[in-house]
Amino acid sequence: MPITQPLFGACRTIFAFFGTCFNEAGFYLVRTLFWQFRKPRYIILLGPPGSGKGTLATQLAPALRIKAMSTGDVFRREKAANTKFGRQVKAHLADGSLVPDSLTLAIVRRELIRPRYWFGAIEDGFPRTIAQAEQFELLLAKWGVSVEWTVLLDVNDDDLIDRLSNRRTCTNKSCGRTYNLKYERSVEAGICDVCHAPTAQRDDDVPEVISARLRTYREETQPLCNYYQVRNVLASVHPTGDMTKQEVFVLVKAALQG
Ligand code: AP5
């Protein structure tokens, strides 16, 4: 094995360690000094795969002046970089099962203390189990805050399957824009309009894995609707198949204001 490989690994670990120390210290300072002037906002987007959580997150983020965080994107990034976390989540991404709660919580906490989330986050796809929701509630309580709103996007199964099997995603990780072969094509087929990288179908957007993801959602994530309903922070919207993204966004804004 060339000597550069372990050296590279050691450097990455050292940088990660100092990065985490910086984030922890910065987060602590911001929480202590600035949260009293600008309260952080934590918004959860709940819904089956393909319901439009990622789409809505990109619309809500500028409107609420906080960044969106997709656990699915974080896991795919870790997998692509072949990190220790990435190797642990790989099999779950492939078969549509959930990444274990303890691992998910560790990654979410690590992300939330990064500077981009110092004033809150739109959580796209987290929590997905009651255990995750309880742990998240405890974490926020430790920070002296709580979940402000949970938005449920309730879309019927036929529309979900249609959207997911036609979704294409930009392969450039820092872009990640999504297209749809039916509703929203790129100008040049297979090429991202924004960064001109190739677009591709996500590994888990194939029929067998889509069915598994929908099953996992019904069994493990749907019970969260009741969890947030009793806490009085659930806003449900039911976008029909013929509604545009902009119409869904308007519906959600109205639900949050009402
Ligand atoms: P993740 O990446 O979060 O996938 P998902 O929840 O299955 O959701 P998607 O990203 O597929 O869909 P979306 O709801 O964001 O819809 P989108 O806006 O793209 O998770 C992947 C995996 O990671 C999981 O299977 C699991 O293994 C793991 N994981 C993630 N979080 C976890 C957690 N907390 N715990 C444990 N494991 C976890 O829209 C879909 C398509 O529809 C697009 O083509 C879009 O253009 C189109 N579209 C959107 N809105 C409309 C509209 N109004 N009209 C027409 N088309 C529309």
Active site residues: 53, 128, 167, 202, 213
Q: Residue by residue, what is the 3-state secondary structure of 194-247? A: CCCCEEECCCCCCHHHHHHHHHHHHHHHCHHHHHHHHCCCEEEECCCCCCCHHH
Q: What is the pLDDT of residue 20?
A: 78
The pTM is what? 0.90
Of all residues in the chain, the percent with pLDDT exceeding 70 is: 96
What residues are in contact with ligand 1 under a 6 Å CB criterion? 47, 49-55, 70-72, 75, 92-93, 96-99, 104, 125-128, 132, 163, 167, 178, 180, 183-184, 204, 213, 239, 243-245, 248
User: Worst-scoring range by mean pLDDT, 39-43, 124-128, 171-175?
Assistant: 171-175
Question: Is the pLDDT assigned to residue 256 strictly greater than 90?
Answer: no
**169-195 per-position pLDDT tens digit:** 999 988 888 999 988 899 999 999 999
Give the Å distance between the CA of 48 and the centre of ligand 1: 7
Show the tokens assigned to 64.
């609420």
Domain range 39-257, its CATH number among 3.40.190.10, 3.40.50.720, 3.40.50.300, 3.30.390.30: 3.40.50.300
**196-212 per-position pLDDT tens digit:** 999 999 999 999 999 99
Give the Å distance between the CA of 105 and the centre of ligand 1: 19
Which residue shows structure tokens 């990640």? Answer: 176
Nearest CA to ligand 1 atom 8: 49
User: Which of 88, 92, 97, 98 gets mutated to test ligand 1 (max ligand atoms within 8 A of its CB)?
Assistant: 98
- Tell me how crowded residue 65 is: count the other CB atoms within 10 A of its CB: 10
**130-152 per-position pLDDT tens digit:** 999 999 999 999 999 999 999 99
How distant, in Å, are the alpha carbons of 48, 129, 152, 211, 222 from that of 216? 9, 10, 16, 9, 9
Q: In the predicted model, what is the mean pLDDT of the chain?
A: 92
Residue of 179, 184, 176, 182 whose CA lies nearest to 162: 182
Show the tokens assigned to 96.
């549509």
Q: What is the pLDDT of residue 2?
A: 62
**205-239 per-position pLDDT tens digit:** 999 999 999 999 999 999 999 999 999 999 999 99
Query: Ligand 1 atom closest to Cα of 75?
Result: 23
Cβ pair 180, 169 in contact under 8 A = no
Question: Is the pLDDT assigned to residue 22 strictly greater than 70?
Answer: yes
Taking residues 34-43, what's their average pLDDT?
95
Q: What is the pLDDT of residue 229?
A: 96
Q: What is the pLDDT of residue 97?
A: 95
